Structure 1
Amino acid sequence: MRKHYPTFTFGLFILTVLVSMQACKSSSSIYKAPKVAAFRAGKMPAPPGMVYVPSGTILFKSSLDTADTGKNVSLSAFFIDETEVTNKQYREFINWVADSIAVTDYLNDDQYFLNTGEQGEERRIDWKKVKKASPIWKSNDPTIRERLAPMLEMRGSQRTLNPEVLRYRFSYQKTKGNINKVYVTDTVPVMPVEEIWSSDFPNAQLASLDVNYFTHQSFDYYPVVGVTWRQARAFTDWRGKEIMATLMKNSYLSGYQLTLSLPTEAQWQYAAEGKLDPRDTSSTKRMTIDGSEGKEKLAVNFKQGDGTYSRDGATFTLPVKSYTPNAFGIYNMAGNVSEWTLDAFSPSAMVFVNDLNPALLYDADEKDADALKRKVVRGGSWKDNGEQLNTDTRNYSVDYEPHSYIGFRCVMSAFEMPTIQSKTRKF
């Protein structure tokens, strides 16, 4: 007698087989990794205004002492600004801070907010509306001008922002070497010292630079100066948040959590050397830019000798895209302005740092001695002689001190892309 099995049982059997086959197929596919192909010679598309620097190795020294042989250190890939931060870019930061203070502390107008802040809810600024009116502090509306009066001051015949009011608040991990790493919130005054030219050179007639350099549009694309290390770090925090909030939404970097900061001095040196071949571990070739023959060897903005500032085409700073970029596409890593780095300065830094992504970090307290507040400055400037332009020359300034010859640029973390070295080949 033939047995009749229920239809659903036979269907369940078929379904079970299919699921088992799919499961086998699915589980086996996770073990099939694709072969590695070089991604356009290892270059990763960079955010606007930045360039991609692949991983590599440099000879890193603590000092210029001939007995200091240094050591090889390796750097992971990163993005770096192709130019020094300009007056125009820094003014955008200033206006953002001024707008946020204006709408939250003085205007308190609902039209500038996304919500009402009821029942203890924190009010959030509607930046789309704010940017349409930005910079609000320059408004000609008499009512707004009256309400913003505490934010402003008169400098000569010009109405300008009060530096004491203009402060940026941000949080960061405070580090003192390898101990006491805690998150703190800091409030930093962000206005550059516009009179820095006369302050640095008191016996020179530089009053016209004091009143025009940061504010006049003819200097828009010159490097910002008169900015302390603390202010430069505040700018990198703001810009990092702007990039993550806007550029990342509809780009190939969407979904990543990437950080922006000042470059470590090792990152700065590697970017300055411009080694396109990551296998090149040779020691730095020192630039000997001296006297009258210096300009034939390298086109940069620096002091060629006593009293000879103008032979390179400028007495002071130049627009940030002057001269020719290096092999990475980066401008003015030597000359124009020296640049703040993230590192604390120590003559024996090599003793303390790792040989992979080295950084000597130390956030001094206000009561600490100046020796603990020294930050590494690299690159040489318009007022320095040739030997200061060597890629391994180190200098320093304290973190609260601005100068007319120190600017900065930003770096952002990146991911390493396969290069021709790692491309899969037949055995």
Structure 2
Amino acid sequence: MKYHCLSIIISLLIIFACGSKPEQISANQTSGIDQKPIQGMVLIEGGDFTMGTNDQNSYPSERPAVLRKVASFWMDETEVTNKQFAAFVEATGYVTVAERKPDWEDMKLTLPPGTPKPDESLLVAGSLVFVAPDQAVSLDDISQWWQWVPGAYWKQPEGPGSDIRGKENHPVVHIALEDAEAYATWAGKRLPTEAEWEYAAKGGNNSRFPWGNELTPAGNFKANTFQGAFPHQNISSDGFDGTAPVRSFTPNDYGLYDMIGNVWELTSDWFDAAAFMREKAMAPALDTTISKCYNPENPYAIEKVIKGGSFLCADDYCINYRPSARRGQDVYSGTSNVGFRCVKDV
């Protein structure tokens, strides 16, 4: 059995529900911050906001809504691109997690105690790749569309024989937590907290999506998501099958692109499925990261929060293209629909 693939697939088994309009309060932003512009970044002025939702049609991990406060920060306008990540690799010689032979000591931390070590022939470098099936399949079995592909990594996103030529401005994918943190450190930045990310994604608005209450107002697509019958039939009404170049859609009111759709984005917070329940009575406080991971769907998981949904979020499956939606991502692995963007302290 390919235990590495198994451990990652287990970490992706989240039970999805339909999303709807979250209850929010208006963002209370500060003003008067005197900062020199940083190329490619947007200054997000801090304030109080409502994080999560009270809507019972949302996913349980989003509820209940809690009041949070974030300090001002800079955020990348876009997801980190292949071109930007290539510059980092060229400057440092960095080798991503997907390019390395899996470490059994790390793997067994995410598996039930006593799981035997697989044969060495199965411990090969690679990553999880979305491969659309030829026909309709059960949505309860994600192995029908996720495949462990030896040799898949950021520069070969579909595996050997694929490349990123012509996709220099697409978001980099197959990025594990360690990879994202290494890039951020090199760039003099860091990963956003979940609260920073959600605050920025909402753009100061009280609507279901950053742009309003309709996914496609007047038939206009505002994000790269999945149209059609998931996972086998993407009719690509938004113009894209897979990732899209950054800045392909209009930015939110803060000037940030692709906060919804395209690729999921890593944050620095550990995924705690019950985090908001524990904070139910908490008054607004400065944002702090969650210090413990908890996912009842995958009790052995070591996961960070990812936000924003991706090009694989569809009306009939993963309705995570909302700022309040959240999911856990295995820290030791990347996939073909997970990327990141960075922030910088003011």
TM-score normalised by L of structure 1: 0.52
Contact preservation (8 Å) 1:82, 1:331: yes
Aligned to 2:244: 318
Higher mean C-alpha displacement, 44-53 vs 319-328: 44-53
Is 2:227 aligned against 1:304?
A: yes
Partner SS, residue 233 of structure 1: helix
Is 2:169 aligned against 1:221?
A: yes
1:323 positional shift: 1.1
Distance 1:193 1:232, change over 3 A: farther
The amino acid that maps onto 2:199 is Y
Aligned to 2:190: 261
State how many pairs are aligned. Answer: 256
Aligned to 1:357: 287
Contact preservation (8 Å) 2:247, 2:258: yes
In 2: Cα distance, 1:356 partner to 1:231 partner: 27
C-alpha distance after superposition, 1:231-256 (max 9, x if no partner): 1112111211xxxxxxxxxxxxxxxx
- Percent of paired sites with the same residue: 28
Distance 1:363 1:238, change over 3 A: farther
Aligned to 2:43: 52
Q: Residues 24-423 of structure 1 correspond to what in structure 2 (within 5 A)?
A: 42=33, 44-61=35-52, 65=56, 68-98=63-93, 163-164=99-100, 193=126, 196-197=129-130, 201-202=146-147, 209-211=158-160, 215-240=163-188, 260-275=189-204, 285-286=208-209, 296=219, 298-306=221-229, 307-350=233-276, 351=278, 355-362=285-292, 371-386=300-315, 387-414=319-346
In 1: Cα distance, 2:54 partner to 2:79 partner: 25
Distance 1:391 1:53, change over 3 A: same
Distance 1:374 1:309, change over 3 A: farther
1:337 positional shift: 0.6
The amino acid that maps onto 2:197 is W
Distance 1:62 1:372, change over 3 A: farther
1:226 positional shift: 0.6
In 2: Cα distance, 1:338 partner to 1:313 partner: 19
Distance 1:194 1:374, change over 3 A: closer
Structure 2 unmatched runs, 5+: 1-29, 102-124, 132-142
Contact preservation (8 Å) 1:193, 1:227: no
In 2: Cα distance, 1:87 partner to 1:402 partner: 15
Contact preservation (8 Å) 1:63, 1:347: no
1:71 positional shift: 1.6
C-alpha distance after superposition, 1:136-158 (max 9, x if no partner): xxxxxxxxxxxxxxxxxxxxxxx
Partner SS, residue 304 of structure 2: strand
1:374 positional shift: 1.2
Higher-helix-fraction structure? 1
Contact preservation (8 Å) 2:82, 2:164: no
Distance 1:208 1:95, change over 3 A: closer
1:309 positional shift: 4.4
Distance 1:234 1:53, change over 3 A: same
C-alpha distance after superposition, 1:169-199 (max 9, x if no partner): xxxxxxxxxxxxxxxxxxxxxxx95774569
Partner SS, residue 320 of structure 2: helix
RMSD (Å) for aligned C-alpha atoms? 3.6
In 2: Cα distance, 1:340 partner to 1:208 partner: 18
Contact preservation (8 Å) 1:300, 1:335: yes
Contact preservation (8 Å) 1:78, 1:411: yes
Distance 1:334 1:43, change over 3 A: farther
1:45 positional shift: 3.0
C-alpha distance after superposition, 1:42-61 (max 9, x if no partner): 46333221110001222113
In 2: Cα distance, 1:74 partner to 1:212 partner: 47
Partner SS, residue 68 of structure 2: strand
